Structure 1
């Protein structure tokens, strides 16, 4: 039960095969809120159809503590859509997203709430140190800078999934229907006052990472395509360069034939010119079409939301409340 006048914070924790971590994550979150006054909280675990005992452990937590809400998806819909489902279910005045493996410390939640109370609508964690290997660490940092350079949105560098967002952001997220969401970029693109909180990311202590290199690359591609039309513009530029080279070759053929009397084989010049002209026109028009397809893609991405298989402590949902400011110890 929430206390009238208190702020309500939704803590969003995606989980997939994390039977060794969910109880520890719950305990760490409860300990973090023990430091706060005038603050209630709920913990929303989105179980991305785990195949181990994760859901059984979550059942026990939900039975013990009604503040624990669990949403189990009917299959593995991927990390980003699992996260998006949690954001849409949040009832709080603000919401904090963190990973179940405790690499992002729940002990920083009071600091995030303090910055939120100063008027910032988004507080995102900036990773000063990463526990990954040298190659993975370098790839992460390169990706953050590359997507920032290519994107039309103001995407912060070295910022992961650990963040707090205001109720106004949650209301906007509820309207999102995206086939391949990139949630951190989506939130960054909404604007408002956003501030970073620097921290050192801890190493995973239990289980294995659910983000091998292949999934990291796939998420990087989603991030790039969700926030940049540069790949399509590269195609357009390539078409223009190809067209310019083709035009120069056409001129070369004509000059050689008409001014220097170059004796090409019969029909060679005509066939070559027609082929080059056709390639040039196709490349140019495909580039133009690509620009329009890119805009349609950015405007009209729609897909059914993830299907929920089971929920715990989610039946008596309270209506979302407007954000309020309360004291933090």
Structure 2
């Protein structure tokens, strides 16, 4: 079933010229939200050729994150705050932030400021030169060599199996033009993988290299190894049917090998029965091997079926519990009236 998503922002110049939306997804970032707000202000307020808004999407934080954001938004109407009714995951949070953005372009940045706001100006310059998406490319990042090699291997693998080209060493720090934001508003994906989706929609993508700092002083990363693995699998299942094809190919290869071995065993038993005793261990191993393959392939198929199931249920992408300084669909969200957002 096709659904048309509302375009929350129509672009257009703000009071200071071009309007830039800064999208900041947050989850338990009470130590960082005010610091991030001040850093963004410091970069964009001196410019008289543009105006800006900051859209914080709170993925149902359990600390004081929303209370602090509400205080900031009450003092500065350029700050928009959306709190979800529960944790909908990182990619859905980003999708909602982009759909609420009203700017001619939107820049996403993490609240911990591992990605430097100073690059906003380079992003905007390349955007004005004609790029509809500008991504920050990490020339170097402060992490263990093993993790860096695993990350690079994953993105090379994802790029090789996907029909959509993926920028190596690029994360979610990016600028997206209004034309791409309008296309995102039409996307009906229950489990979006935003990095691949935006790359797919981009027509002229630019890149800005930078060195990413490590999060040391202001809390721990919200992406432990388990979450990183989940995000990696989401990227594979969202942009490739290779796992299904591999299941088919491996299944055919195993079937062919089994048929060949069965024929050899049968001929051997007929010609030299004394040399071919009944092999209980061999039979057991083959049976267990077949069961293992079936379990593996059913798991792969199940992942895709689960995605289909989520898609056909046509549930809201997120449910907004509270909002501050936002006027959508003709009225401001009331804190006591949760609403679904497609």
Check whether the contact 1:16–1:50 (CA below 8 A) recurs between aligned residues.
Answer: yes
2:113 matched to which residue of 1?
Answer: 102
1:12 matched to which residue of 2?
Answer: 23
**Shift in alpha-carbon separation, 1:315–1:299, aligned structure 2, 3 A:** closer
Unaligned runs of 5+ residues in structure 1 are: 319-329
1:323 matched to which residue of 2?
Answer: none
**Shift in alpha-carbon separation, 1:24–1:116, aligned structure 2, 3 A:** same
TM-score scaled by length of structure 1: 0.82
Task: Select 1:216's aligned residue among 228, 251, 276.
Answer: 228
Is the partner of 2:206 in helix, strand or coil? strand
**1:123 correspondence with 2:134:** yes
**Shift in alpha-carbon separation, 1:8–1:313, aligned structure 2, 3 A:** same
What is the root-mean-square deviation in Å for CA atoms of aligned residues?
3.2
C-alpha distance in 1, partners of 2:163/2:47?
38
2:98 matched to which residue of 1?
Answer: 87
CA shift for structure 1 position 101: 0.3
**Shift in alpha-carbon separation, 1:163–1:3, aligned structure 2, 3 A:** closer
CA shift for structure 1 position 248: 1.3
Is the partner of 1:55 in helix, strand or coil? helix
C-alpha distance in 1, partners of 2:90/2:63?
17
Pairing of 1:1-329 with structure 2 (within 5 A): 3=14, 6-204=17-215, 205-253=217-265, 255-256=267-268, 260=271, 262=273, 297=308, 300=311, 302-315=314-327
Is the partner of 1:84 in helix, strand or coil? helix
C-alpha distance in 1, partners of 2:15/2:255?
68
Instruction: Work out which structure has the larger RCO, using CA pairs closer than 8 Å and 6 or more positions apart in sequence.
Output: 1
CA shift for structure 1 position 122: 0.5
Check whether the contact 2:20–2:107 (CA below 8 A) recurs between aligned residues.
Answer: yes
CA shift for structure 1 position 88: 1.0
**Shift in alpha-carbon separation, 1:229–1:28, aligned structure 2, 3 A:** same
What whole-Å deviation, never above 9, does each CA across 1:261-315 have from its counterpart, x for those lacking one?
A: 75899xx9xxx9xx99xx7xx97xx89x959x67x94995654221100000002
Is the partner of 1:307 in helix, strand or coil? strand
What whole-Å deviation, never above 9, does each CA across 1:144-166 have from its counterpart, x for those lacking one?
A: 22212222210111100100011
What whole-Å deviation, never above 9, does each CA across 1:231-251 have from its counterpart, x for those lacking one?
A: 111111111111211231343
Check whether the contact 2:16–2:48 (CA below 8 A) recurs between aligned residues.
Answer: no
What whole-Å deviation, never above 9, does each CA across 1:114-155 have from its counterpart, x for those lacking one?
A: 000111110011111112233333322222222122222101
Check whether the contact 2:18–2:104 (CA below 8 A) recurs between aligned residues.
Answer: yes
What whole-Å deviation, never above 9, does each CA across 1:162-199 have from its counterpart, x for those lacking one?
A: 00011111111112232322111111122411111100
Is the partner of 1:196 in helix, strand or coil? strand
Aligned length: 305
CA shift for structure 1 position 224: 1.2
C-alpha distance in 2, partners of 1:298/1:88?
24
C-alpha distance in 2, partners of 1:231/1:251?
30
C-alpha distance in 2, partners of 1:16/1:43?
16
**Shift in alpha-carbon separation, 1:3–1:165, aligned structure 2, 3 A:** closer
